[in-house]
Amino acid sequence: MNEKLKREVKRNEERMIAFRRDLHRYPELSWQEIRTTNRVVEELGRIGLECRRMEPTGVVAELVGGKPGKTVALRADMDALPVMELSETLAYKSENDGKMHACGHDAHTAMLLNAAEALVSVKDELRGTVRFIFQPAEEITEGAEAMIEQGVMTDVDNVFGIHIWSQMPMNTISCNVGPVFASADVVEVHFTGRGGHGAMPHACVDASVVASAFVMGAQAIVSRETDPLEPAVFTVGRMDVGTRYNVIAEHAILEGTIRAFNPQVREKLEQAIRRYAEHVAATYGATADVTYRYGTHAVINEADSAMLAQRVVTDSFGRDVLFSDRPTTAGEDFSYYLQDTPGCFALVGSGNAEKDTEWAHHHGRFNVDEDAMVLGAELYAQYAFAYLTENPF
């Protein structure tokens, strides 16, 4: 633990919270983070860091230490969600109607800026380089790939990220070895039957019946075709069928999501969904067209990196703060940074019933216990310092 980092993060706490509230008041959706990008650039300039604007939004900055060494990247996401904020008492409530920081990305951005300022204060002691990645468009799982394509991971030796987590209690941090977030894929199934009069089903092939049979039966793919010790989820969230009460539907369009931690399970689920859709359609004399789109990979924490993060937590905050949370089947595009580079992703607990911060992410009442941001900012900074110190060459 670097004591100066701890002092600097705490010293800048009020500025960090004010910056987070500013972003919360003016949230911007994926690929629209223009004001947010400008505000980040302003803050980086204030603390003396040159930066590069990404296309169309996003920022990357770099701090070169006083001693040679490796490069560690720290990532924060910046985008908001198309969610109506439901709080009536929050002083910094969203002023952009129908848009809200309902997932904590405003806090992530503010925490990373605080960490950057703290690391600048120990520049001469740093053995290497810290790269700060302020990423857009995480909520639509496009930002990480775009940033990587623009070179933010070039020559990076390790990468670290944080997510504020309302489902964990305050004063807890989790960074387990292995799976943290699931892969998140999207499937669309288009069934085509033969439409006709609602009073003459014998002359038709009812696409609504085909779609219903598929939805009801497809859960057997998870319950009977995957290893029960390998978690998987298949959810059909949208079904668009029919045009009128007395017309047999000719078309049915279904959209769903598939979640898994094991890449082999992920591939098996795709194959099974395609097979099941085709067989169900054939049973009723219909046809099926399946479009399967791979989304984010599973976030799998590399062992050495996760264990380093755990040591940082216990050294900086005490053993009682270290928490072992179960993996979640939510998705996170931080997974793209981990495809070719070792690293890990930590969860910082923000749930506090007294401050009403236990609402689920993406809910209109979601909010952050801002006391958690001090832990998050210091964790960013201490992880980078520790990695560079322990891996000098």
Confidence of residue 118 (pLDDT cuts 50, 70, 90): very high
Q: What is the pLDDT of residue 372?
A: 98
Q: d(Cα 227, Cα 195) in Å, to the nearest integer?
A: 39
Q: Is 55 a catalytic residue?
A: no
Label residue 360 exposed, middle or buried (CB < 10 Å: 0-12, 13-18, 19+): exposed
pLDDT at 324 over 90: yes
- Decide: helix, strand or coil at residue 307: helix
Tell me the average pLDDT across 38-60: 97
Question: How confident is the model at residue 347, as a pLDDT?
Answer: 98
Across 296-330, b (16+ Cβ under 10 Å) vs e yields bbbbbbbebbbebbbbbbeebbeeebbbebebbbb
Domain ranges in the chain are 3-182+298-390, 183-296
pLDDT at residue number 166: 97
Q: Give the confidence band of 18 by pLDDT, cuts at 50, 70, 90.
A: very high
CATH code reported for the domain at 183-296: 3.30.70.360
Tell me which residue of 5, 19, 185 sits closest to 105, measured CA to CA: 19
pLDDT of residue 392: 81
Whole-number pLDDT of residue 393: 82
Q: Known catalytic residue: 142?
A: no
CA distance to 32, 40, 49, 99, 166, per residue, from 363 (Å): 21, 26, 35, 12, 11
Question: Which of 79, 85, 185, 333 is flagged as catalytic?
Answer: 79
**Model confidence pLDDT, tens digit, residues 274-289:** 999 999 999 999 999 9
Query: What is residue 297's predicted lDDT score, i.e. its pLDDT?
Result: 96
Catalytic residue of the set 33, 138, 250, 369: 138
Tokens of 220: 């057997």
Say if residue 242's pLDDT is above 90.
yes
H/E segment holding residue 275: helix 263-284
Candidates 3.30.2130.10, 3.40.50.2300, 3.40.630.10, 3.20.20.450; CATH matching 3-182+298-390: 3.40.630.10
Averaged pLDDT, 10-14: 97
Please give the annotated binding residues for Mn(2+), written as ranges: 103, 105, 139, 163, 362
Please compute Rg for the chain using Cα positions. Answer: 24
pLDDT the model gives residue 333: 97
